[in-house]
Structure 1
């Protein structure tokens, strides 16, 4: 786990941590240049909504943005709730234990339905709730001008079940305020916060445990060295004696549909009815263990008995949460678990939540880079494409020709003797898991060429056409390499 100071020495740019230059010659120029980098953002509707809400409720604008970014990366997710029942950019929670959504509706006079789906209304609702916490704490008009004075209000906004997690939540927000934020919204707008040093006034939370501090609990209390222990509610898992009672032969990868601190808090909530063994943070890969591996966390239905569950901070629809630090940290955890229980390090045993039989969840989703992740798990230096041309084209097809596309991939021509159809698929060999320009085409003599072209993570195709007794042209492209055949395979 990296120290908090190290995490602060970076700028968040659309979810990626970018280190700041610190060479001596730039000591005087860097602050000015850094601040200037944040003045070029477009003044779009979301930036305007933050400014308006901050002014209306007398909340520091930059603190409001930092809080929203910590919760959702400024993505309202089209009104869909998080795992803990939070809505919109400001993650207004409406669940049996938290009523921020209802409170925002009362404070703003806007219906809950509007607060769920309208970004500007949601931001106003979040500002109103944060201001209400400040009023309850007795912040004066003068104190409200100082972001440092808002720490306790921010801690309360997170709705944490314990003071320790409330501090973790508020510290993450103030870390973002210190580092600065430059984030792209789903609408293509850029919203920024310039870096600023703020020494938060923690008040009673100063006595809470700093869950980011080293040696928070003795190593014997966790199954994975380096993890921090925060116990889930005993209502959210089943005490067991694995692997004596049940063999552990699977590791299930999840995405939280929420923030790191918010997920930890949710698993502490007795009404949640869910938990996972581990939670991994996006920014630096910090790991919290919440259920002992011997016990059955409630995360994967019928696989609860046989698996260890790892939650990853973020949302399936937003790739910005899936940082390299998260992948590497989680992969090290997965490798450790696999070694201790003799679990094969392959995709049959390390699976997504969506791959659990009977699963209704889609996580980790298409933005999760399995190729990179498994490379880190296995220590392989050369990632391989998990897809084959036969798989892409379907049952009954066999490869009859192929052409290399430099080192970027291979384009394949396949034939199904039962149907008389040809199929073309381009299988990438580089930039695996990352969408890049790839294409495949098939032209039956006398017919119009059919092409599948776009930015694909693993392959282009399948392109199929009836070609019995006909000559065909076929080819494709990956990276800067292309192949185009003459008319051939006539028969």
Structure 2
């Protein structure tokens, strides 16, 4: 995940670059809706914080309505108002606003207004009094997701709060980054999906994956053919939404793996020995990998996603003796008997295959977002290493770092608990930052 703002660190002379204020947004092109005004109006009418409304939309669609085309879970518009057996936010929005479904589906301002009405209704049901406290909206946002279970709802809602923390600047809409401590309420007792139990680690075929199984009604046990092909998909939806959909008995679809856009986190939902339902006639001999996002929106295809997915594909190919070429690693659209178009024209096959085969055309640098409130910068990746400086706070900052090697063992887990900063001409050699967000074993810091 690449950002433009970074902290520049040099031994002996440490300088911080403050997060730049968002520049004035350019005027909307003629004929396109003013999304910023739509969010402002909807937030004011239904007393939903603008940051909550925008961040839910960004987590769902990156604020793109896709011209009214439905997602995999039959969700529509910027706010993904849905109509399926478990998520009825579309019909709820229509009832609450009096707007017809056709308008809520196609018209972005109406879609945003409908989502605000639904969130307002859920807030009333939850007895939410202080609407201005962003942290109090956690259970309301979780309900809006209509996730299949508590852990998936946490996955969805945590992502919304990460968006709130990072801020948004896209499609003419901007929000300032805000440090918020969410009130988890009943979800405090729900284990995050990033926490790997011993049984979950054992169940996953790929060591880097979180095991979260699909509904048994959405795949077939066993195989009728040898595995020869890896199929690349795009979810046409969000990471948490896709996981929830594969757990829904009505879906009748699944994939073996799902990859998150922001950081490349991988969830395995079907064992490789079993037949996921993702590519019709190719299912018996294929392993399916879904990637969060929409085929017409390249912003979802991050470097973190490419690298994580390529490492997964290479691992599968090596374990199963599958040649790492385009005859055996294919897009959904390339499989016989399929009418899908994913991963689409924005998927960079050349770069992806280069990564799968061990090539590295770009240095593996990533950025992560953290809060500079007592964040230690050390001379090495261990608690015993000397502290070079402590970042001031509570200003939110972006840190440019790399994840190659430099793993440490802590509390029984081996992980990149410390992030090695990018070397700038020797000034930052062997300098590490202690990331306070690295609380979950198995989740990379950057």
TM-score (norm 2): 0.77
Aligned to 1:273: 252
CA distance in 2, matches of 1:382, 1:104: 47
Matched, 1:236 2:218: yes
Please state whether the residue corresponding to 2:230 is helix, strand or coil.
Answer: strand
Offset, 1:40: 2.1
Aligned to 1:263: 242
CA distance in 2, matches of 1:144, 1:73: 24
Would the aligned equivalents of 1:277 and 1:292 in 2 still touch at CA under 8 Å? yes
Q: RCO greater where, 1 or 2, for CA within 8 Å and sep 6 or more? A: 2
Please state whether the residue corresponding to 1:144 is helix, strand or coil.
Answer: coil
Please state whether the residue corresponding to 2:267 is helix, strand or coil.
Answer: strand
Aligned to 1:162: 149
**Bigger radius of gyration, 1 or 2?**
1
Offset, 1:381: 5.4
1:205-216 correspondence to structure 2 within 5 Å: 205-213=187-195
Aligned to 1:343: 322
Would the aligned equivalents of 1:276 and 1:298 in 2 still touch at CA under 8 Å? yes
Aligned to 1:72: 61
The answer for unaligned runs of 5 or more in structure 2 is 29-33, 363-446
Q: Structure 2 residue aligned with 1:370, among 326, 336, 349?
A: 349
Q: Structure 1 residue aligned with 2:161, among 174, 195, 214?
A: 174
Offset, 1:112: 0.3
Point out the structure with the larger strand share.
1
Would the aligned equivalents of 1:42 and 1:191 in 2 still touch at CA under 8 Å? no
Would the aligned equivalents of 1:256 and 1:314 in 2 still touch at CA under 8 Å? yes
Would the aligned equivalents of 1:236 and 1:298 in 2 still touch at CA under 8 Å? yes
Would the aligned equivalents of 2:74 and 2:83 in 1 still touch at CA under 8 Å? yes
CA distance in 1, matches of 2:185, 2:361: 51
CA distance in 2, matches of 1:136, 1:216: 38
CA distance in 2, matches of 1:264, 1:43: 37
Matched, 1:96 2:85: yes
Aligned to 1:20: 6
CA distance in 1, matches of 2:199, 2:240: 18
Would the aligned equivalents of 2:94 and 2:101 in 1 still touch at CA under 8 Å? yes
- Change in Cα spacing, 1:195 to 1:365, as seen in structure 2 (3 Å) is same
Would the aligned equivalents of 2:201 and 2:211 in 1 still touch at CA under 8 Å? no
Matched, 1:321 2:300: yes
Matched, 1:135 2:119: no
- Change in Cα spacing, 1:169 to 1:216, as seen in structure 2 (3 Å) is farther
CA distance in 2, matches of 1:121, 1:365: 29
Please state whether the residue corresponding to 2:227 is helix, strand or coil.
Answer: coil
CA distance in 2, matches of 1:17, 1:225: 28
Aligned to 1:117: 106
CA distance in 2, matches of 1:156, 1:111: 23
CA distance in 2, matches of 1:123, 1:380: 43
1:465-484 correspondence to structure 2 within 5 Å: none
Offset, 1:219: 2.0
- Change in Cα spacing, 1:356 to 1:61, as seen in structure 2 (3 Å) is same
Would the aligned equivalents of 1:105 and 1:115 in 2 still touch at CA under 8 Å? yes
CA distance in 2, matches of 1:158, 1:105: 17
- Change in Cα spacing, 1:374 to 1:21, as seen in structure 2 (3 Å) is same
- Change in Cα spacing, 1:170 to 1:18, as seen in structure 2 (3 Å) is farther
- Change in Cα spacing, 1:224 to 1:169, as seen in structure 2 (3 Å) is same
Would the aligned equivalents of 1:216 and 1:228 in 2 still touch at CA under 8 Å? no
Q: Structure 2 residue aligned with 1:153, among 118, 131, 140?
A: 140
- Change in Cα spacing, 1:166 to 1:25, as seen in structure 2 (3 Å) is same
- Change in Cα spacing, 1:65 to 1:43, as seen in structure 2 (3 Å) is farther
- Change in Cα spacing, 1:303 to 1:90, as seen in structure 2 (3 Å) is same
Please state whether the residue corresponding to 1:305 is helix, strand or coil.
Answer: helix
1:178-217 correspondence to structure 2 within 5 Å: 178-183=165-170, 185=171, 190-213=172-195
CA distance in 2, matches of 1:164, 1:57: 28
CA distance in 2, matches of 1:178, 1:382: 31
Would the aligned equivalents of 2:69 and 2:76 in 1 still touch at CA under 8 Å? yes
Please state whether the residue corresponding to 1:343 is helix, strand or coil.
Answer: coil
CA distance in 1, matches of 2:148, 2:200: 23
RMSD between superposed Cα atoms in Å? 1.8
Aligned to 1:424: none
CA distance in 2, matches of 1:52, 1:374: 46
Q: Structure 1 residue aligned with 2:339, among 342, 360, 370?
A: 360
CA distance in 2, matches of 1:42, 1:153: 33
Matched, 1:81 2:70: yes
Offset, 1:379: 1.4
CA distance in 1, matches of 2:79, 2:150: 21
The answer for unaligned runs of 5 or more in structure 1 is 1-9, 11-15, 384-491
CA distance in 2, matches of 1:361, 1:56: 40
Would the aligned equivalents of 1:66 and 1:174 in 2 still touch at CA under 8 Å? yes
- Change in Cα spacing, 1:59 to 1:217, as seen in structure 2 (3 Å) is farther
- Change in Cα spacing, 1:299 to 1:78, as seen in structure 2 (3 Å) is same
